[in-house]
Amino acid sequence: MAEKKGYADGAEAAASGGMPQFDFTTFASQVTWLAITFGILYLVLAYVILPNIGNTIANRRNRIADDLDTASRMQREAEEAEKAYERVLADAKAKAHNVAESTRASINEEIEREVAAADADAAAHALKSEAKIADIRRDALSNIDGIAKDVASDIVKKFTGKAPTAAQLKKILGS
């Protein structure tokens, strides 16, 4: 029957059109349970949930700070590596330039030696050729007298019908 009475009280309150929270007969117990509920909620929040959230935020802040420190350290290392790379690259370029210059100098020396050898060879061939030309000229000049005598003899023979004597040819040629 007690159960029916509670139901009847709720029905009565609902029938009266008021809100049960504003029923002054249960107001003290409602305030007590409200205080107990909020007290427990406050204790759970203050000692369990909020410290966990604070620890999480602190851990995250520490991790971000560590990550920023690591990033700045890595950036410095990258800059140092870039400077080292630039130095090595400049050294390699200088070495390549030196190698190119020494190679160019040795090639130029070799070309000069070969040109000098070719000039000497050409000069030797020129001397031989000049000697041959001189020999051919000398032979031609020595033969010219004989050819001139033969031609003059043939011309005289053709015009006069008689072959000239050696003394006559000498007189004609003026030698």
Q: Yes or no: say if 157 and 164 are a contact pair by the CB < 8 Å rule.
A: yes
CA–CA gap between residue 73 and residue 79 (Å, rounded): 10
- What is the chain's mean pLDDT, rounded? 86
Q: Is 57 exposed, middle or buried (0-12, 13-18, 19+ CB in 10 A)?
A: exposed
**Whether the predicted pLDDT of 11 surpasses 60:** no
CA dihedral 78, 84, 87, 89 (to 10 degrees): -70
**Lowest-pLDDT range of 40-49, 52-61, 101-110, 158-167:** 158-167
147 against 47, higher pLDDT: 47
pTM assigned to the model:
0.41
131 against 10, higher pLDDT: 131
Q: Which of 137, 161, 163 is nearest to 172 (CA)?
A: 163
**Whether the predicted pLDDT of 57 surpasses 90:** yes
**Whether the predicted pLDDT of 123 surpasses 70:** yes
Question: pLDDT value at position 138?
Answer: 85
Question: pLDDT value at position 5?
Answer: 54
CA dihedral 22, 25, 28, 32 (to 10 degrees): -80
Give residue-wise pLDDT tens across range 62-116.
999 999 999 999 999 999 999 999 999 999 999 999 999 999 999 999 999 999 9
Q: Which of 166, 163, 164 is nearest to 145 (CA)?
A: 166
**Whether the predicted pLDDT of 156 surpasses 70:** yes
Amino acid at 10: G
* Three-state secondary structure call for residue 175: coil
Question: pLDDT value at position 40?
Answer: 97
Q: Yes or no: say if 9 and 18 are a contact pair by the CB < 8 Å rule.
A: no
**Whether the predicted pLDDT of 155 surpasses 90:** no
Beta strand segments in 80-159, E = none
Percent of the chain with pLDDT over 70: 90
